[in-house]
Amino acid sequence: MEVTALTLNCWGIAGVSKDRRTRIDAIGSHLQLGHYDFVFLQEVWVEDDFQAIVKQVGNIFPYSHYFHSGVIGGGICILSKAKIIDVLFHAWSLNGYIHKIQHGDWFGGKGVGLCTVVYHGMKINLYVTHLHAEYNPASDEYCAHRVVQAFETSQFIRYTRNKADFCILGGDLNTEPENLAYRLICDHTSLKDLYLSTGKPEIEGMTSETPANSYTASESLRACPNGKRIDFVMCSSRKGLQIETIDVNIPLPPRIPNYPFSYSDHEAVCAKFRILETQSVSANQKWSKDTSISSLKEALQVCDAALRNIANDRRNYWLAFGIFVVLLAALPFTYDGSRIVHYTLTVTHLLLTLVAVFCLIMATVWNRIERHGILAGKLAIVTRIQALEDS
């Protein structure tokens, strides 16, 4: 049988994303055309937007699921022509920082979602995910978080795919094909990046910060003139089945018809492939133990570096806490003279107290949460390496 899947990061942040309502309506209108069997959406942060899309496309996709998590929701959902018979969600142990409000990943409580469907007699696992964004390529403070997320995603898929005939992963991985997080997912799940099977040049598959997108900033184009390929449709099948890629393309036009802007700040990816019966092990099921061990050991180095940084951060926060406590102790608490001076002292005390409490929380509670998250990922990686070496 033939299957067509679409993934799109909708950039649907309330109050931040430009032209959100118009774009969400346009996305729904495109999905109404019925070109796809399964749709994987990310950054649908407003549940009303999800409900609006579902209402719009209900005659094409009668089945859908939104993965609720965190404070504002995970932002990920799946639309399906086939009935969804099972659902599971795994929230990652590391999801960014609570005090980085401008990034907001922690508040989304992101993870990887699974919907199981039966389509034309085949049991299919549909996975959707959205890894932590990079934000600053020069000093990627979230590298370890993204690596742990990628490893947990690969583990989640490995443990849940056994009874499926084939699996499809769609999502914004926020990592390019040469990066470690991408390799961790591919190396440990046997998932096949369908775009690579087309033989098309990498430049034709760019999905983020592309020159044709109306929302791409000029500074992004200067840093990366052709954009980045960070949105993927991947697939794997059980023994006895083979995946044959028909085409992978960017299906949406550069602009919404009759509007001067794009559907999102990301490009959608459409993958069409065929499922064939075969007596041999298909190419996407061939797996290199050495390659897997190599990527896992590289992930260990990232975790070790992150643990060292966390220890340094803990010392710095304790030092800052001590400095602010000393400043508080040095300032008089009352002043009988000028009212302005009295109010200034009061405000200064309040600000110093708030900053000192913040440093205390970061040095204790938050530091241990992050340390335990990375340590848990590291120990799981070590266990996996040992199992592979012994096999």
| Residue from 360, 188, 280, 252 nearest 11 by CA | 252
Cα–Cα distances in angstroms (integers) from residue 151 to residues 168, 192, 337, in the given order: 17, 16, 62
CA distance 230 to 261: 21
| Residue from 43, 121, 26, 101 nearest 77 by CA | 43
CA distance 233 to 195: 8
HSE value, Cβ hemisphere, 13 Å, CA-based, for 19: 16
CA distance 216 to 150: 26
The single residue of 132, 266, 342, 372 carrying the catalytic annotation is 266
Hey, which bits of the chain come out as E strands?
2-12, 38-44, 63-66, 77-80, 84-91, 111-119, 122-130, 166-172, 192-193, 231-237, 241-249, 269-277
Task: Give the DSSP letter string of 246-305.
Answer: EEEE--S-SS-TTSSS-S-SB--EEEEEEEEE-SSPPGGG---HHHHHHHHHHHHHHHHH
Sequence-separated (6 or more) residues with CB below 8 Å from residue 218: none
Q: Which two tokens stand for residue 310?
A: 């966390």
Name the packing angle between helices 289-330 and 143-160 (round to 10°): 130
Name the packing angle between helices 20-31 and 47-57 (round to 10°): 30
Place of tokens 């959707």: 128
Instruction: State the amino acid at position 10 in one-letter form.
Output: C
Is 342 designated active site? no
Q: Which two tokens stand for residue 226?
A: 């052709």
HSE value, Cβ hemisphere, 13 Å, CA-based, for 341: 8
| Residue from 293, 81, 95, 269 nearest 193 by CA | 269
Catalytic residues: 266
